[in-house]
Amino acid sequence: MSILGDAVAEAVLQTYDALPRKCKPVEATADFFQWVPLSGIVVVKGDNSRPECLSLGTGMKCLPVDQVAQANGSVVHDWHAEVVALRAFNHFLLHECLELSTSPTRTSPIVRRREAHEISDILGLQPFSIHDDLKLHMYSSEAPCGDASMELLMEAQVDATPWPLDRRQPATRKLPGMLPGREFFGQLGIVRRKPARADSPQTLSKSCSDKLAMKQCTSILSSCASLLVNPANAYLDSLILPKSQYVAHACDRCFGPAGRMKPLAYRTWSGGYAFRPFRVETTEHEFVYSRRSRPASSRELRTSNIAAVHNPHVQEALVVGRLQGRKKFDLKGASAICSKRMWVTTLQVLAALGTPTLLQQVSESSQVRRWKDSVLFADRQQVKADVRVDALAGWIRNDGDNFEVEVE
């Protein structure tokens, strides 16, 4: 337990408590109690300021690989709480950049315009930065799925002995092109997929443990946000977990510079990128909809299908990656944090800034995948490539949703 951990947790929990009823699981009954993971991004200015929750998310599902191509950028692929909170944070940054770019006199307590001498790239990339005196923290009500939670998963089994490996199906080749889920307990430190249950539809979404490990190198900026915001101040300073969800050696193995990320220790890259491992600290606070909060009077534990999205610019309730109440793949049901809408905002910022070189680069194609593979993202892609080779071997790109965004 730490003072910081409790303060960060309180900031997220209090923000969640203020959300409307539609963003939360149904109330507990004698028959069942619905639970859902919660995550949030918190900012702290200096050493003594009150932590402020900038974004939060709940959820625990993701889109099967055979439906990704139909998503067309308008359906959120992965709505695990950590991913939703990160997407909501990037949505917040994009809208702060939009307001700064359309109003020269406006200022933001989180984002600033960079001075001309700070922008050395001839393309004019990353004209904004997070303020230097801010630190970012993440709270999660559950240990991230994947490697950081394997010991907890083993302890929950009747027999915690690691299952023997089937030599005909190595852990990293369970199915052609697929990653292992929960199985193969004896294989620690490997990249895993979600959802982890063997009877769930197959996906190529990497576990939250793996995604957070990657974020220690790429920063917590999304691809589109990284066009606008320099990554140097966009790394997590700490990850806060409930004491009941913290296994020290698992977190060290998963995230630490002496664990599987050791080959990247002290590594730096062009573009402001570096390996910046976060601390993992604990809190005594438990989330009211944690599975550990089930009242004794409720006979059954069930998962909630609601994913809440919140930041100062947006508040939504999602079901299966789209706005609650909308049909599957209906464009009107596209969340504010879906890829297509985030890219539209990014293009609006570029247009407002009047950066002709950047706009020319993106106008050569309307396919987002081509943008990501272009010179615009060369530094970021090099970071990800090195991490996949040196630390997170077996990482498979989830490339099925090759959607387009028109440049006006």
Q: Which residues are catalytic?
A: 82
> Looking up tokens 């690691």, which residue turns up?
162
Are the C-beta atoms of residues 211 and 138 closer than 8 Å to each other? Answer: no
Could you tell me which of 290, 263, 287, 149 has the C-alpha nearest to residue 207? 149
Q: Report the candidate in 373, 51, 387 with the shortest Cα–Cα distance to residue 212.
A: 387
| Host H or E run for residue 387 | helix 378-390
Is the separation of the CB atoms in 183 and 48 below 8 Å?
no
CA distance linking residue 309 with residue 98, whole number of Å: 20
Distance of CA 53 to the CA centre of its chain: 15
- Looking at the DSSP bridge assignments, the partners of residue 56 are 40, 310
Strand pairing of 236-242 and 134-140? parallel
295-319 burial, b at 16+ Cβ within 10 Å, e below that, comes to eeeeeeeeebbbbbbbbebbebbbb
- Residue/partner pairs of 364-373 with CB below 8 Å, 24 or more apart: 366/404, 366/405, 366/406, 366/407, 367/402, 367/403, 367/404, 368/73, 368/339, 368/343, 368/402, 368/403, 368/404, 368/405, 369/399, 369/402, 372/223
* Dihedral-angle region of residue 329 (phi above 0 means left; psi in -120 to 50 means alpha; beta otherwise): left
> 247 is written with which tokens?
């296994």
